[in-house]
Structure 1
Amino acid sequence: MWKHQTPGIPDEYFERVEDVPITKEEVRVIQISKARLSKGQTVYDIGCGSGSISIEAAHQVGAAGKIFSIDIDQNAIDLTKKNLEKFQISNVDVILGNATQKINDLPPADAIFIGGTGGETAEIIKLCESKLKQGGRIVIGTILVETLYSVLNTIEKLKFSSIDIIQVTISKSRKTSTGTMFLARNPVTIISATKI
């Protein structure tokens, strides 16, 4: 369905349900670029939601790579599976459960994306740091200021270098009866780092 090497699958290509979040297209592109993915890598997508990050990452790591998508919400798991089928992606394992209980069962990762975590972000980052290969990348998307504070506190205490923090505010055009206007979306702060 998506035949391009570049990330940036339009949001409207994904199946959606009201209560399951999606990482928006432009933010997703930045997060994928911050992970610096290569063919054959192993990737976690924690708090996978609709599966949009998993699908973009699967394209980047190719058939030899592997994605592990985790979410605690059955609706998110069902939606991720539906989107994987729609995009004909076969190198993703979808795991229902609490990431704090599932991470230890996974193989070492080259890159880890962390999205919605239900307030357990700091604990999840600590677990991920132990599973991340040396030189591996972690990419965390946050909306809440409290989550950002927790992430920065945690990352600075662990074995990470090249810590990069950006805040992205996207405005999308929308046609009106008299022209085109821009509608702003919520700002997203993206923290990325490399394991020493």
Structure 2
Amino acid sequence: MWDSRTPGIPDELFERTEEVPITKEDVRALVISKLRLREGQSAIDVGCGSGSITVELCLQTRGEVHAIDFDQNAIELTKKNLKKFGVSAHVVQGKAQDVLPELPQVDAVVVGGTWGDAGKVIELAVGRLKKGGRIVIDTILIETMYHALAKVSELQLADIDVTQVTIAKARKVTTGTMMLARNPVLLISATKP
């Protein structure tokens, strides 16, 4: 389905619904890049939504990948997208706070959903990281960024990087092409020392 070794699968290739969010292709490419993945590594996708990041993790690592979401619609959509792209992951419905402690140590974690409890979810996610493992937190909420920055600092993570991404995509209109802005996204990445 996706033969390229680069991340950023076009959004239109994924199964989608109005009820379940998708991390857009440009943001996914940055998230995957900041994880600094290698083949054979393992990963967790917290708040998997449509499964777009889960699919990208599977394709990039070809290792063990776990996906978590509390929403049954998201779980079903993630499973459809995994099947569509011919990859597999361990998909679990539940709150991250309940599921993370049961998962194995991994090389990378993406936190895309914290359900209002960013500090606790990030602490549990870092607890699942192996030494030298990478975490990326992506959010559109300033409050989540605030709590995430406080937690990664408290946990004394290394190589902390904060990036705000503002993307606009072209759309044809009668008189030419206009750029339509998407929500700015905040990315926090760090390494477990």
Instruction: Please classify the TM superposition score into its range, dividing by the shorter chain length.
Output: over 0.9
**How far does residue 117 in structure 1 lie from its aligned partner after superposition?**
1.8
Matched residue, 2:13: 13
Matched residue, 1:136: 133
SS in 2 for 1:165: strand
**How far does residue 177 in structure 1 lie from its aligned partner after superposition?**
1.5
Q: Alpha-carbon deviations, 1:44-79, whole Å to 9, x = none? A: 0000000000101111102xx111000000000000
Runs of 4+ residues over 3 Å off in structure 1: none
2:82 to 84, 92, 113: 84
Count of aligned pairs: 193
C-alpha distance in 2 between matches for 1:38 and 1:68: 16
TM-score (norm 2): 0.98
After superposition, the CA RMSD in angstroms is 0.7
**How far does residue 159 in structure 1 lie from its aligned partner after superposition?**
3.2
Matched residue, 1:73: 71
C-alpha distance in 2 between matches for 1:69 and 1:25: 18
**How far does residue 14 in structure 1 lie from its aligned partner after superposition?**
0.5
1:165 to 142, 162, 165: 162
Which consecutive unaligned segments of at least 5 residues does structure 1 have? none
Q: Alpha-carbon deviations, 1:1-49, whole Å to 9, x = none? A: 0000001100011110101000011011000000001111110000000
Contact 1:129 1:159 survives alignment (8 Å) = no
Amino acid at match of 1:79: L
Does 2:111 correspond to 1:117?
A: no
Amino acid at match of 2:52: S
Q: Alpha-carbon deviations, 1:150-195, whole Å to 9, x = none? A: 0001110003111000000000000112211100001000000000
Does 2:34 correspond to 1:37?
A: no
SS in 1 for 2:48: coil
**How far does residue 98 in structure 1 lie from its aligned partner after superposition?**
0.7
